[in-house]
Chains A and B, each alone.
Chain A
Amino acid sequence: DAGVTQSPTHLIKTRGQQVTLRCSPKSGHDTVSWYQQALGQGPQFIFQYYEEEERQRGNFPDRFSGHQFPNYSSELNVNALLLGDSALYLCASSLVFRGRGYTFGSGTRLTVV
């Protein structure tokens, strides 16, 4: 049973560019959440997708956007990259009607130069 798969694993981008990160949830899960983890910090919630819609959103600017596809996979897009966007981006999948917790992927390490 495959867990959560994220791609790419590492990425280097230049300030001002745009980036797309991808996530395939664990089999049977219907909800995908994205977290940003800066170096030495705890993960911070970006947003959550369910039924192809953004269901909840954390305190992140509109430069951060996402999408969920009919097969439950998801993308995180970040526009106009800033140096401060450098972080580990984690995807977590779950079942919306609770009870089973979250499964995290291995993350995408984004470096903005």
Chain B
Amino acid sequence: ELKVEQNPLFLSMQEGKNYTIYCNYSTTSDRLYWYRQDPGKSLESLFVLLSNGAVKQEGRLMASLDTKARLSTLHITAAVHDLSATYFCAAELNYGGSQGNLIFGKGTKLSVKP
């Protein structure tokens, strides 16, 4: 059974600081997703990581994937208030080589304070 664990679950940061959110998954999954969710809103896709060693960056966010360690990280550089949201990672459960379904972590609620 594929399980996804995120930590920390809550993160309070000061503006300008750096921090990393960790996402561990329990069994083989070759596709890892990061989403952002604002309160009461849907999921906004941030990154799709498809292979071991993949690294993607968008603005102050950078995501990486280590399939051997079954670990993905979301690194936040020089945080700003606009990044305050809940961040989810999700691993895709393979389904015979075609589109599987997503197993989500519990989310990391990020609060960036001045």
Question: Is A43 a contact of B104 with CB atoms below 8 Å?
Answer: yes
**A73 on the B face (CB < 8 A):** no
Please report the total number of B residues contacting A with Cβ < 8 Å.
24
Knowing A101-B45, A101-B48, say if A96 contacts B98 (CB, 8 Å): yes
Question: Is A95 a contact of B88 with CB atoms below 8 Å?
Answer: no
Please report the total number of A residues contacting B with Cβ < 8 Å.
28
Q: Kindly identify which residue among A31, A41, A104 contacts B43, using a CB–CB cutoff of 8 Å.
A: A104
Question: Is B105 a contact of A42 with CB atoms below 8 Å?
Answer: yes
Interface residues of A (CB under 8 A from B): 31, 33, 35, 41-45, 48, 50, 55-56, 58, 90, 92, 94-98, 101-107, 109
Interface residues of B (CB under 8 A from A): 4, 31, 33, 35, 40-43, 45, 48, 88, 90, 95, 97-107
